[in-house]
Every structure is written in structure tokens, then in C-alpha cells.
Amino acid sequence: MQRPPANTFNLEYLHEITNSLDEISKQKLKGVILTSAIPNIFSAGLDIKEFYKPDLQRLENFWSSVQDVFIKLLDLDFATAAAINGHAPAAGCVLSLSCEYRAMVNGNYKIGLNEAALGIITTPWIQAMMYQVIPMKHTETALTTAKLFDVDEALQIGLIDEIASNKEDAINRCKQYIRKFDKIPLHARALTKQRMRQTPIKILREQRDEDIRMFVDVVMNPSVQDNLKDYVEKLKNKKKK
């Protein structure tokens, strides 16, 4: 990913990712590694500008495009791994959860789902993606407290699989993970993976319209817009300090 300054997902970037995923799906790949070209930031998640004082039509398109990306990512036949070379809050974390394996670079980085701190609720499919990786009890506490984990905590709880010394090491560990499937028939691997992931995939496929409606309702709630205003200000003012 290379969308400076923080690899955030806006509508156009989501379309680009969808197109790339469509493109790679046609190729006979062994696996895919998601990483960032931006030092210290894997992805800062969704672009807050998309849902602060939004245009309604664009907001609906935006969430529908978020759904497209995750349906495709969860469903990829081949192995997926994330070399998390920096912060991965919110949708940055969700992106890594869509992969089968996560190696995170050691450093003063945070990963987790902090949506509640913005006054917004994680959708059922995102919750399912989290509790398929870490235990339900930890998921509930992490989501309700908007917990961002440091690298050691993330390993301890199972949110990441390994700690890497740098980006290259993280990518190598991802490659090693992908090589594990060299002798496994692709079809068996893919179907097993898709069945294991059927909860979030099913919610995403069968409740798309309802999910968009709920997203729009939550985002347009005046108190959520107030929270977002404060949050955007806080991000802007960080630099001035």
C-alpha cells in the first residue's frame, strides 16, 4: 500500500484495491503479502474525511466499497499474509485480520479496533473477523474499551502470529508461511479456508443493504459527528504540539 501520508482508505483507493484484487484473482499465485510502503504506518484505517460531514450518496458508495474489498480479501483462494510494518488501527487492523497470518515489526506501534473511541460501533462482520482470531472474551473487552495493543500485547493475545525485527524479516516470515502450502492441493486449501471464514463472509454477502443502512445511521448520528469533529481536530493539532 502506498497512499501517503497514512495509507487511509478513501472511496477511490478502495476502488483501486478492488481492481487489484480482481486482477490478482485471475493469476495463479501461491499467495499474497500485504504491507506498506510508508515507514511506521501499515494503515491508519478508513479515511475519516469520508464520514465526517459526508455526502450521503458517496457515504453509501464508500461503505459498499469497503464491503467489496473485504468480501474479496476473505474469499481469496490463495494464502494471504500481512507484514505489518507500523501502526494498524481500526480498518488497518481489519485488513490484517482478513489475512491468514500476521507478522508485525517490533517497534512503538499499535494495532487494534478503536472504533468505540470515535463513538462508532464495529459491524457484526468485523466483530466476527476479530473473534475468529482472538478469543471472544478478549474481543469483547478489546472492542468495548477501544483497546489498541502494543506489539508484545498483540502477540500475547494472538492478534499477531509473530514479531519481526524489520520489514524485510516480516516479509520473509510471510513467505515462509505461504510456502507451508506448497504440497497442499489448492482446491482443498481454498475450500477449507472459505468454510472457516463463512461467518463474516455470510454476513457480508447476505446483509449488505442492512449493513450499509446501519453504517449510514451510525455515522449520521449528530453525537457521532461531534465525536468525529473532535477526533479530526485532535489529529490536525498533533503536528502543532
Ligand X SMILES: CC/C=C\C/C=C\CCC/C=C/CC(=O)SCCNC(=O)CCNC(=O)[C@H](O)C(C)(C)COP(=O)(O)OP(=O)(O)OC[C@H]1O[C@@H](n2cnc3c(N)ncnc32)[C@H](O)[C@@H]1OP(=O)(O)O
Residues that bind ligand X (CB under 6 A): 5-6, 8, 40-41, 44-49, 87, 89-91, 114-115, 120-121, 123, 211, 214-215, 218-219, 235-236, 238-239
Single-letter code of the amino acid located at 99 = C
C-alpha distance across the termini of the chain, in Å = 28
Q: Which is nearer to ligand X, 79 or 118 (CB)?
A: 118
Whose grid coordinates read 515507514? 39
Single-letter code of the amino acid located at 105 = V
Q: If we measure between CA atoms, which residue out of 1, 23, 30 comes closest to residue 175?
A: 30
Length of the chain counted residue by residue: 241
Q: Which is nearer to ligand X, 55 or 192 (CB)?
A: 55
CA 88 – CA 90 distance, rounded (Å): 7
Q: Which is nearer to ligand X, 46 or 97 (CB)?
A: 46
Closest separation in Å from C-beta 98 to ligand X: 13
Q: Which is nearer to ligand X, 101 or 109 (CB)?
A: 109
The dihedrals phi and psi of 131, each to the nearest 5 degrees, come to -80, -5
CA 92 – CA 1 distance, rounded (Å): 11
Q: Which is nearer to ligand X, 44 or 79 (CB)?
A: 44
Closest separation in Å from C-beta 183 to ligand X: 38
Closest separation in Å from C-beta 94 to ligand X: 7
Which residues make Cβ contacts (< 8 Å) with residue 45, sequence separation at least 6? 8, 9, 89, 90, 91, 92, 93, 94
Closest separation in Å from C-beta 221 to ligand X: 9
Closest separation in Å from C-beta 13 to ligand X: 11
Q: If we measure between CA atoms, which residue out of 116, 156, 120 comes closest to residue 140?
A: 116
Q: Which is nearer to ligand X, 67 or 80 (CB)?
A: 67
Residue nearest to ligand X (CB): 45
Q: E-strand spans in 109-161?
A: 110-112, 148-150
Closest separation in Å from C-beta 78 to ligand X: 26
